[in-house]
Amino acid sequence: MKVLIIGAGGHGQCVADALLRSRRAGGEVEALGFLDDVEPLATDHFAGLPLLGRVPDLGGFPEAAVVVAVGDNVARRGLFEEMGSLGRVRATVIDPTAVIGSDVVIGAGSYVGPLAIVGPGCRLGSNVIVNGGGCIGHHSRLGDHVHIGPGVVTARGASIGDGAMVGAGTVIKPEVSIGRGSVVGAGSVVSRDLGDYVTAVGSPARAVRRQEP
């Protein structure tokens, strides 16, 4: 399968790196290059992968699958849904160093980064990001379009709602839920449930403001 990477910024390059290393390890997915409307590369390539144009140029690659590699949850969701409306296969990218447990479901278009762990029985929605070093505890649930920052640890049975963002190094205690659209600041400790569309920070994490849905 040939794949186009939508987004040539930092996250796009992380996704590209995972694809390249998977290919070197014998994987069958081949990265063709990048399309980007907003944040082109400083040069016209990254690690040999070219910048092939803007997102409307997708039509020049009718057989390619896509992976939306944009960190911002709202922008990524919009592009993911646009690719679906165009009938594009949305590829899931799992770094070859990630550990995926038994009986795990990972939705279309998701990315699991280097040295990440997804424990047994987990359910990850579509278009999810689990960045490098993240540890998703067994039987946790992540909704669609969730973004898990580097080094985040969720204990068993955590629940994270659609479109939530969890900042780097955060710890989520067992059976705790985070509502849809919420943002948890880096380095927080989430020891009790958080509602929808809130920003929370600290140890223990406390809601400091409400987001617009």
Pick the catalytic residue from 138, 139, 145, 147: 138
Task: Record the tokens describing residue 118, joined without a space.
Answer: 């997804």
Unique residue bearing structure tokens 């040539």: 8
Task: Record the tokens describing residue 65, joined without a space.
Answer: 């699958």
Contacts of 44 (CB under 8 A, 6+ apart): 50, 51
Residue 100 one-letter amino acid: I
Q: Is 138 a catalytic residue?
A: yes
Tell me, letter by letter, the H, E, C secondary structure of the chain: CEEEEECCCHHHHHHHHHHHHHHHCCCCCEEEEEECCCCCCCCCEECCEEEEECHHHHHHCCCCEEEECCCCHHHHHHHHHHHHHCCCCECCEECCCCEECCCCEECCCCEECCCCEECCCCEECCCCEECCCCEECCCCEECCCCEECCCCEECCCCEECCCCEECCCCEECCCCEECCCCEECCCCEECCCECCCEEEECCCCEEEEECCC
Question: Among all residues, which ones are annotated catalytic?
Answer: 138
